[in-house]
Amino acid sequence: MRGCNSRSGLTVYYVYALQSLKNKNWLYIGSSENLRARFDEHTSGKVISTAKYRPLRLVYYEAFLNKKDATLREYQLKHNSQQKEQLKLKLINSLQAE
């Protein structure tokens, strides 16, 4: 999921959640302009904060046209435990099916 939409020339910013397959209660929140490349960095162990939780899977993402909005949303999910818990609850039903 590349950040630039070649048709419109718009840059898209992603806020995403990764789940560890070792510890399914563990959730990592991050942001990137290039979600696919960033996910590859996480799964290959290049990101220190997620390396020990591999293997990982992408369980959620949101797309924004404004970097400020994406940064704010990432901050909300990382620093507001209520927002993070709401996201976890949203994901529970879809993740339990697997």
3-class secondary structure, 46: coil
pLDDT at 78 over 70: yes
pLDDT in tens, 2-61: 555 556 788 999 999 999 999 988 999 999 999 999 999 999 999 999 999 999 999 999
Worst-scoring range by mean pLDDT, 2-6, 55-59, 73-77, 87-91? 2-6
98 located within any domain: no
Provide the pLDDT for residue 77.
94
78 located within any domain: yes
The CB density around residue 31, as the number of other CB atoms within 10 Å, is 21
Provide the pLDDT for residue 94.
74
Q: Considering Cα of 22, then 27, then 28, then 32, what sign does the dihedral take?
A: positive
Question: Containing domain of residue 12, as a range?
Answer: 4-93
Phi/psi for 96 (5° steps) reads -70, -25
75 located within any domain: yes
Beta-sheet strands, E only, within 1-98: 4-5, 10-11, 13-20, 27-32, 56-64
- Stretch 85-95: mean pLDDT: 82
Q: What is the CATH number of the domain that holds 78?
A: 3.40.1440
Q: What is the pTM of this model?
A: 0.86
How many domains does one find in the chain?
1
